């Protein structure tokens, strides 16, 4: 039975009730009206099986809307913006956020014996649907350096001083240290100048560069893997400059060639004690 037929039946029943005027007749009228309204509301998103991505003009039915009006309503994702969803849209089309896997392990450095990049990936397990949270980045890069190639230890030193975030120390490849007496140390520097490129680093593994500010004092750790071949110091840390150790030295952030500058060596310490955002590693 169509909606117009149901309305006609209701009007006919209303005319009969007006003639009868009985209380029982009015109760019958309300019951018939209720049945008609219920039968009209059986065309929502759930009953029609509609649930469409984006904006889809064909994803339409006739049912009660969320504003309690009756008429054409939609079951597409855009209805949340246009405010014309069917009343059961959220139930029929629940938002499903993107789900991704855990990060893969970091790759090795792309090239040995020079400042370069390492990468890691993750995969999409569940695509976002119905306005759920979109997928985050699936690929990340970070600066790194390796000190061996297929011929053995690297021959050239890496200058100027190359630095990266302190977290790299947990993942870097440790070369074999044949002399167990070799230990790391920390050097404190005062940043005297840096390029504007440091403030344009917004990815998760270059964002640390935005904490570099002129006048700040930073700690840079020299770990055994970064010790210059045959020496007891890290390349570019000023340790080999004799009485001129307090001269200004150049540095560069690995992973962003536009972030570099000059710092003044302050002192050497056995261990670093700077805040995390001001603690770095020699590559």
| 105, 125 Cβ separation under 8 angstroms | no
Closest Cα to residue 198, out of 277, 140, 260, 141? 260
**pTM of the shown model:** 0.47
Q: How far is CA 86 from CA 40, 51, 62, 70, 265, in A?
A: 13, 11, 8, 9, 68
Task: Write the pLDDT tens digit of every residue in 116-163.
Answer: 777 889 999 999 888 788 999 898 877 676 666 777 766 555 556 777
Side-chain-facing half-sphere of 92: CA atoms under 13 Å:
20
Cα angle vertex 138, ends 174, 134, to 5°?
150
- In DSSP terms, 152 is beta-bridged to 149
In this prediction, the residues of the chain whose per-residue pLDDT falls under 50 are: 1-4, 6-7, 11, 38, 40-41, 173, 175-178
Torsions phi, psi of 157, nearest 5?
Answer: -85, 155
Task: Write the pLDDT tens digit of every residue in 62-74.
Answer: 999 888 888 899 9
């Amino acid at each position: 039975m169509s909606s117009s037929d149901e309305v006609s039946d209701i009007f006919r029943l209303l005319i009969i009730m007006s003639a009868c005027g009985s209380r029982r007749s009015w109760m019958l009228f309300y019951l018939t009206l209720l049945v008609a309204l219920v039968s009209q509301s059986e065309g929502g998103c759930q009953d029609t099986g509609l649930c469409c991505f984006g904006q889809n003009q064909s994803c339409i039915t006739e049912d009660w809307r969320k504003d309690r009006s009756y008429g054409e309503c939609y079951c597409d994702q855009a209805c949340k913006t246009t405010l014309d969803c069917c009343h059961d849209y959220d139930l029929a089309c629940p938002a499903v956020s993107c789900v991704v896997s855990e990060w893969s392990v970091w790759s090795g450095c792309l090239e040995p014996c020079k400042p370069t990049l390492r990468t890691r990936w993750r995969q999409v397990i569940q695509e976002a649907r119905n306005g759920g949270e979109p997928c985050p980045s699936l690929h990340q890069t970070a600066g790194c350096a390796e000190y061996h190639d297929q011929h053995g230890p690297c021959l050239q030193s890496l200058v100027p001083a190359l630095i990266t975030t302190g977290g790299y120390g947990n993942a870097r490849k440790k070369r074999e240290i044949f002399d167990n007496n070799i230990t790391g140390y920390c050097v404190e520097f005062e940043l005297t100048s840096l390029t504007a490129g440091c403030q344009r680093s917004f990815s998760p593994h270059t964002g640390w560069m935005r904490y570099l500010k002129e006048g700040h004092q930073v700690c840079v750790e020299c770990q055994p893997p970064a010790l210059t071949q045959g020496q007891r110091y890290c390349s570019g840390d000023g340790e080999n400059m004799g009485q001129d150790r307090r001269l200004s030295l150049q540095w560069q952030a690995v992973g962003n060639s536009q972030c570099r500058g000059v710092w003044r060596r302050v002192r050497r310490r056995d261990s670093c004690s700077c805040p995390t955002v001001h603690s770095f590693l020699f590559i």
